[in-house]
Amino acid sequence: MPPVHRGRVSDARRTDAVLLLVALVWGSSYLSAQTATAALPVLLVLLVRYALSALACLGLLSARRGPRRGPRRWTRDELRAGVPLGVTQAAVLVLETYGVAHTSAANAGLIISLTVVLTPLLDRTGHPGGLPPVFYAAAGVCVLAVGLLMAGDGFHAPRPGDLLMLAAAVVRAGHVALVGRLTAGRAVRPLHLTAVQALVGTALFLVPAARELPALARADAGTWTQLLYLALFCSVFAFLVQTWAIQRTSPSRASLLLGTEPVWAAAVGVALGGERFTALTGLGAAVMIAGTYWGQSVERAHRATAPHRTRAAPTAEPAEQPAEDAEETEDARDAGDTEKDTRHPATTPTGV
């Protein structure tokens, strides 16, 4: 048996710990959003969160100066991807934040995990010939879990918050699929893409939330703490640290660790939010976690074997690249932090 180097083991454990920390941060975001929206209007919470995230991203970009120029500018690919993704991300956060304001934090985190099984249905780039039937069985298990979670104390009409979280899961799946389409094969840097999305979100919420701005003067320290946590930790920190960690481990391991997010959402909701699980919601939580992990493993195995089921198409000679685009591509290469493929739902930022 070849010797195992202690340095590699400690690096692997550190990477695992970082990914678990990201999952914990995202899981805790539901209770933070619920607490913030209890004190401030939803649109104002979103505006402040986006504005703080944008300021943090711009500060980081300004600090990363290249040897030949000032702050690295955005490439055309980053702007083309960032603007529409900023719009879809804002749509997701509107639904999620209104949803978590009208349901439990545990339910919100568990229902949004449906994104894991909904995304492959919309993103067919890695599934030539369609998904295997067993994947649809896993999706059916998740739908059953949603019914159990919505039942709560007994079977009744679903709460508005649960329905909003269900809608958010569908829209988020479309957002994740769009991330894959707009970033695949392009030099897109995570920090630059995040900054564009944060600026777009700030612009979108500025006018609708403008009349609510005076309410910020009445916000206490606890509310501001939640807003800062949502902006700096659940958005900027989690996304950038996740990208760093994924580059140092396998996609399967990253998916497994980040997939614990709904577990943390439920744990934080019960331990810190005073929420309680009935028999139905407890069963729904267990079924949802099992269903998402099952669907995730089926999709991952199907994507991994896809190249063996298809023949590579002959490649055409590359077209001449315009001088401006060539300059932008070279600028992105100089950054040395080009984004990896983020189409896999488990390696795409979730949380509220």
The domain limits of the chain are 14-65+72-212+219-307+337-347
Q: Alpha carbon 251 to chain centroid distance?
A: 15
Per-residue pLDDT at 224: 97
Tokens matching residue 278? 């009935």
What is d(CA 315, CA 307) in angstroms, rounded to the nearest whole number? 16
CB 116 within 8 A of CB 345: yes
pLDDT in tens, 143-185: 888 888 877 666 556 789 999 999 999 999 899 888 888 888 8
Q: Given a cut of 80, is residue 343 above it in pLDDT?
A: no
- Residue that the structure tokens 């909003």 belong to: 164
For residue 197, which amino acid is it?
Q
Closest CA to 37 of 288, 215, 302, 259: 215
pLDDT bin (cut points 50, 70, 90) of residue 11 is confident
Instruction: State the pLDDT at residue 350.
Output: 58
pLDDT at 179: 87
Quick check: 33 pLDDT over 70?
yes
Band (pLDDT 50/70/90 cuts) for residue 8 is low
Q: What mean pLDDT is reported for the chain?
A: 81
Angstrom CA distances, 1 to 7, 9, 123, 334, stand at: 18, 16, 41, 41
Q: Distance between CA atoms of 311 and 343, rounded to whole angstroms?
A: 22
Cβ-contact 109, 264 below 8 angstroms: yes
**CA 129 – CA 158 distance, rounded (Å):** 36
One-letter amino acid for residue 352 of the chain: V
Q: Which amino acid is at 194?
A: T
Residue 226 has pLDDT above 80, yes or no: yes
**Spatial separation of the C-alpha atoms in residues 249 and 228, rounded to whole Å:** 29
Q: Summarize the confidence of residues 265-292 as an average pLDDT.
A: 88
pLDDT at 330 over 70: no
Report the percentage of the chain scoring pLDDT > 90: 38
